[in-house]
Amino acid sequence: MVEEYVYYNGKKLRKGYTTGTCASAAALAALKMLLSREELEAISIKTASGVALTLPLVSAEIHADYGIAAIEKDGGDDADATHGMWIYAKVSLNQTGSITIDGGEGIGRVTKAGLPIEVGQAAINPVPRKMIKESLLPYLPEKCGADVLIYAPEGLERSRQTFNSRLGIMGGISILGTTGVVTPMSEEGWKASITLELEMKYQQGLRRIVLTPGNYGEEFVHNAMNIPSDKVVNMSNFVGYVLNEVQRIGFDEILMVGHIGKFIKVAAGIFSTHSKDADARNEILVANLALLGAPTAMLKKVYSCTTTEAAGDIIEEYGYEEVYQIIVDKIKKRSELLLRYKKRAVAIEAIMFSSQRGLLASTKPLDELGETYR
């Protein structure tokens, strides 16, 4: 158990350990049991960052020529899709002197280039692979190697809650971790997964990318523009972070597509669009409508709306739909200003829509943008 804490947004949160640490610990336990012929109840291991852990085994088996051990994944107070899973390792000795590592049931396979693991390999990242090898080496008999199989029976089902399919990792979870310890700030892990997806798409040769804040945006891009999903990245609420990452990685062109309820915030320079960070939707609408000369009675009605969809009814009633073009142009301008101090220029276009009305406005004609990004 990791008894260390971190403070985030005023809360005291317990750290956990990664699937990579679980796999390494399970592999070491399986090897020790195979050699000693004695079952273990716990195993001590150092994470990739040097943190010493003693983890309980939830399963232990000794067979004639292999050992099996399992560790329950503990995400601390950052319970993700893999929290509570049993990560197994089956270890047998070989006479080659080398350590082989593969994935079995519930461990995904890489099907697309651009990830740190080659196509066809099990989705066990480089740091966990290194941890496993370094953990086993001191205990291997002279001139002996080991064959390690990592598996997770719940992996396929749990993987449906992850980004794996977007990354081309099919059939299960990934064995991850760069430090071995989970620091409970879910946003950081989420951002890292978005960066990984962007880097993968860049390595695949894409230089234009479509960014959306969520499922509504992806549906609009697919249904209204016929743009395939492999050209689209879900940036969630991390608009500013993702724009900076796109520029850093080296993309040339960005198309931002979003529902007015999220995207209107960007028009005011709000680049973290979660409501816990900022919610000025009505204020932004009112300010832009007022600059168009909208009557006070209308502005009061808009300001009292609980959703931008409801505000849309009032905007349509009073005939001020031109405000949408003003807002989408400001989204483009604000995004360009965010990246202006870095040398690499990135061309940015934007589309804004609503669930009830469909397309509200775009910085270029929809057909033109569709042809460019398909």
Question: Which structure tokens are listed for 18?
Answer: 């990664």
**Predicted local confidence at residue 189, as pLDDT:** 67
- pLDDT score, position 2: 46
Domains of the chain: 5-182 (3.30.2110.10), 192-373 (no CATH)
Nearest to 107 by CA among 196, 20, 193, 170: 170
Report the amino acid identity of residue 272: S
> Hunting for tokens 């403070």 — which residue is that?
7
Q: pLDDT tens digits, the chain, 374 residues: what are they?
A: 444 544 444 555 556 788 999 999 999 999 999 999 999 999 999 888 788 888 999 999 999 999 999 999 987 766 678 889 999 999 999 999 999 999 999 999 999 877 788 999 999 999 999 999 999 999 999 999 999 999 999 999 999 888 788 788 999 999 987 776 555 445 666 787 788 889 989 998 999 999 998 878 888 999 999 999 889 998 988 999 999 999 999 999 999 999 998 899 999 999 998 877 888 999 999 999 999 999 999 999 999 988 888 899 999 999 999 999 999 999 999 999 999 988 788 999 999 999 889 999 999 999 999 999 98
Q: What is the amino acid identity at position 186? A: S
Single out the residue of 243, 273, 272 nearest to residue 256, CA to CA.
Answer: 243
Q: What is the residue type of 13?
A: L
Give the C-alpha separation, 345 to 34, whole Å. Answer: 58
Distance between the two ends of the chain, CA-based, in angstroms?
48
Tell me, what's the pLDDT at 79? 61
Q: Is the pTM of this model over 0.85?
A: no
The pLDDT of residue 12: 53
φ, ψ of residue 75 in degrees (nearest 5): -85, 10
pLDDT confidence of residue 313: 93
Scanning the structure block, which residue is given the tokens 């804490």?
5
**9 phi and psi, to 5 degrees?**
50, 40
What span, in angstroms and rounded, lies between the C-alpha atoms of 236 and 163?
Answer: 12
Element (H, E) at 145: strand 145-151
Find how far residue 197's CA is from the centre of its chain: 8
